[in-house]
A and B are shown apart, each in its own frame.
Chain A
Amino acid sequence: MSTSIDFLLWVRGPGFDIALFIFVVGVLIRLLEVLILGRKADYSEPRGAELGAGLLTLVTRTAPEGGSFKRSPFTVVGGYIWHIGFLISLFLFVPHIELIDSVLGIRWPGIASNLVDAIAAVTIVTLVAMLFSRLTHPVKRFLSGPEDYLTWVVTFLPMLTGYLAYHRMIDPYPLVLGLHILSVELLMVLFPFTKLMHAFTFIIARWYNGAMAGRRGVQS
């Protein structure tokens, strides 16, 4: 008998195991490749310290650069809104915290579910607006390739299915919950092989930029 419960059990069981394996192994391989390869030895005499400047750049690059804000305020503001909304939905929704606790054994307090719901709604609307802007803005459209649209889809689907599941908009519930988990598994599987890796590599890139500038005694 094939039912929505069977589907839910598959995505929660073997499906999640497969996705977790590809995600963790893929991310670790890509990170270790970058770290082990390292950078070329710099034989010049350092004019400043790498550590402080490197750490500082990790933080300062989080704030938008004035020029780009003036040129394309929509991209900057929209980007912040959906990134923050996505992270809140992912890390502060109680059922998600339960999942993280079961995988990593660490937990933190969540926030009210209906607050997450409102934030998720804003995030979904912003993501759609960002896609619309990408499709209509001539420069953004020129710069976008298939991978950009693919990463948009796999980021958008977990938000959409999560919203549908929370509001139980598809019957029966195990089906919509299963679809939500499956969409996250799709995200996990594609994550290491696409530009979604920036969620980890931004730390390395910012560190190298900051540390190099620090060594040369210039502002990063």
Chain B
Amino acid sequence: MADDLKKLSMTLGESLRQQGVSRRGFLKYCAATASMMALPPTMVPAIAQALEKAKRPSVIWLSFQECTGCTESLTRSHSPSVENLIFDHISLDYHHTLQVASGDAAEAAREAAMHENEGKYIVVVDGSIPLANPGYSAIAGISNLQMLEETVAGAAAVVAVGSCAAFGGLPHANPNPTGAVSVGEIVKDKPVVNVSGCPPIPTVITGVLAHFLTFGSLPELDALGRPMVFFGQSIHDRCYRRPFYDKGLFAETFDDEGARKGWCLFRLGCKGPMTYNACATAKWNQGTSWPVESGHGCLGCSEPDFWDAGGFYNALSIPDSDLTRKTGYVVGAGVALGAAAGALNRSTRAKAAAQHETVTIDDLDKKS
């Protein structure tokens, strides 16, 4: 118990050293964080100093209408790394997916963390919130909406992890049977950071938390509330296959010559041009690869409503409806209307010809 208390009051630096992380490893992490967040190298000592002294912030993790993919991404991504250790050294006081067996004790831990760190804790949310009927998703008898409002009331900031929490995601997809909404649509009076993606890149969440620890504030956000450092550039702009797009070299099927040569996947439905995320630079599985590198187009998972944005295998420039069938109907309608208009004109002309009276000079003389 005494140990636990000591651990709680330890700074991040002390805690890391106790875990056997060397000063060198720690600085390396700080440098990587700085470059990841596009900060100048002169900031590295400042980051190291800030992180060294930082108290472990209390984090309450709420999971609503979600598939646990985000938690999978963050907790089981790969073997422990410095990032994982940093992640371990926040005080994750409540995570109902991980604490599911704890029952009431978990709920008590959430309430305790809220009271002890009033105004200072961070709330991480994955999953969307159903508004149609609170019964669609409830935890320990508390509806998602009620739990979110209660927990957020004393929070310093909210991090919406994954596209469901950030934009509604799959539950929000048409016809949205549960009336799912994003965190940002409910939380209006606290800063909300959207870390979108299905799932989001693990480094991005640790980056946001590191920024909070270092500067005591949240990173700069884009129009959709996402950290600019990770979502400032599109997949297309950073794609290593971009030169093939510019040259007009495209794979047309997943097993043709172009696919084998690693040509651009635009024709196969890659949504890279409209998708803002760090996959092309941060990559996945310890920098091993990412979807486009493994031969599949980007699905656009970090953008709002990506489920409803047309087929995953339709090129971005194609309207998302059954056009060939519609074109058939429209041509039919045009031909019918055109023929009707033509027939009307012909009958007008025939009528005019029938009513035409021949006038001679004598007739005109008589009239005048």
**Which A residues fall within an 8 A CB radius of B?**
1, 3-6, 8-9, 12-13, 16-17, 20-21, 24-33, 35-37, 94-96, 98-99, 102-105, 110-115, 168, 171-174, 177
- Contacting residue for A1 out of B185, B338, B342, CB 8 A: B185
Whether B334 and A173, one on each chain, are in contact in the complex, defined by CB atoms closer than 8 angstroms, is: no
A111 and B182 alpha carbons, distance in the complex (Å): 42
Min distance, Cβ B339 to any Cβ of chain A, angstroms: 6
Whether B304 and A1, one on each chain, are in contact in the complex, defined by CB atoms closer than 8 angstroms, is: yes
Whether B319 and A16, one on each chain, are in contact in the complex, defined by CB atoms closer than 8 angstroms, is: yes
Chain A residues within 8 Å of B305, by CB: 3, 5-6, 9
Whether A32 and B335, one on each chain, are in contact in the complex, defined by CB atoms closer than 8 angstroms, is: yes
Min distance, Cβ B276 to any Cβ of chain A, angstroms: 7
List the 5 closest pairs (A to B, CB-CB), nearest first. A36-B342, A32-B338, A28-B334, A95-B317, A98-B315
Whether B345 and A13, one on each chain, are in contact in the complex, defined by CB atoms closer than 8 angstroms, is: no
A216 and B273 alpha carbons, distance in the complex (Å): 58
B274 within 8 A of A: yes
Contact status of A173 and B234, CB under 8 A, knowing A29-B334, A98-B267: yes
A113 and B303 alpha carbons, distance in the complex (Å): 25
A26 and B319 alpha carbons, distance in the complex (Å): 20
Closest to B330 in A: A24
B261-281: CB near A (< 8 Å → 1, else 0) gives 000001100000110100000
- Contacting residue for A177 out of B224, B274, B315, B320, CB 8 A: B274
Whether A102 and B324, one on each chain, are in contact in the complex, defined by CB atoms closer than 8 angstroms, is: yes
Whether A173 and B321, one on each chain, are in contact in the complex, defined by CB atoms closer than 8 angstroms, is: no
A113 and B321 alpha carbons, distance in the complex (Å): 26
Whether A94 and B267, one on each chain, are in contact in the complex, defined by CB atoms closer than 8 angstroms, is: yes
Whether A113 and B247, one on each chain, are in contact in the complex, defined by CB atoms closer than 8 angstroms, is: yes
Chain A residues within 8 Å of B185, by CB: 1
Residue count of chain B within 8 Å CB distance of chain A = 53
A112 and B349 alpha carbons, distance in the complex (Å): 52
A95 and B270 alpha carbons, distance in the complex (Å): 12
Q: Which of B112-120, B142-150, B198-206, B306-314 contacts A (4 or more CB under 8 A)?
A: B306-314
Contact status of A13 and B224, CB under 8 A, knowing A29-B337, A36-B343, A36-B346: no
Whether B304 and A5, one on each chain, are in contact in the complex, defined by CB atoms closer than 8 angstroms, is: yes
Chain A residues within 8 Å of B335, by CB: 28, 32
- Contacting residue for A13 out of B222, B267, B319, B334, CB 8 A: B319
Chain B residues within 8 Å of A168, by CB: 234, 237
Chain A residues within 8 Å of B182, by CB: 1
Whether B248 and A105, one on each chain, are in contact in the complex, defined by CB atoms closer than 8 angstroms, is: no
A35 and B341 alpha carbons, distance in the complex (Å): 11
Whether A113 and B345, one on each chain, are in contact in the complex, defined by CB atoms closer than 8 angstroms, is: no
Closest to A178 in B: B274
B340-353: CB near A (< 8 Å → 1, else 0) gives 01110110010000
Whether B319 and A112, one on each chain, are in contact in the complex, defined by CB atoms closer than 8 angstroms, is: no
Chain B residues within 8 Å of A4, by CB: 223
Whether B338 and A172, one on each chain, are in contact in the complex, defined by CB atoms closer than 8 angstroms, is: no
A24 and B335 alpha carbons, distance in the complex (Å): 9
Min distance, Cβ A220 to any Cβ of chain B, angstroms: 26
A36 and B318 alpha carbons, distance in the complex (Å): 34
A115 and B327 alpha carbons, distance in the complex (Å): 31
- Contacting residue for A94 out of B234, B250, B309, B327, CB 8 A: B250
Closest to B272 in A: A173
Q: List 24 A-B contacts (CB under 8 A).
A: A4-B223, A5-B304, A8-B309, A9-B305, A13-B320, A16-B321, A17-B319, A17-B326, A20-B326, A28-B337, A29-B337, A32-B339, A37-B349, A98-B267, A102-B314, A112-B248, A113-B247, A114-B247, A168-B237, A172-B223, A173-B236, A173-B273, A173-B274, A173-B276
